[in-house]
Amino acid sequence: MAIPQLVAHRGYTLHYPENTLLGIEAAIRAGARYVEVDIQLSADQVPILLHDKTLQRVCGIDGAAHNYTLAQL
């Protein structure tokens, strides 16, 4: 089995926000054969795309996604 030439981690993060549909679509247009995203659950068990253990880097708030409902996020 051949190794893919391009795997986009969280989309095309150089030019688009990570883990967004816009970034994922841009990565595919740029030639990515695969796009890897990270899925976590909110407190009310709704899947969200988020890489980090906490929300600090991406959202600027303390805590983890599983401590907030989708409405709070």
Q: Which residues of 12-27 are buried (b: 16+ CB within 10 A; e: fewer)?
A: bbeebebbbeebbebb
Tokens of 59: 């959202």
Cα(8)–Cα(59) distance, integer angstroms: 22
* pLDDT tens-place string over residues 11-66: 999 999 999 999 999 999 999 989 999 999 999 999 999 999 999 999 999 999 99
pTM: 0.76
Domain ranges (residues) in the chain? 7-67
Tokens 């795309």 found at: 49
Confidence class of residue 4 from pLDDT cuts 50, 70 and 90? low
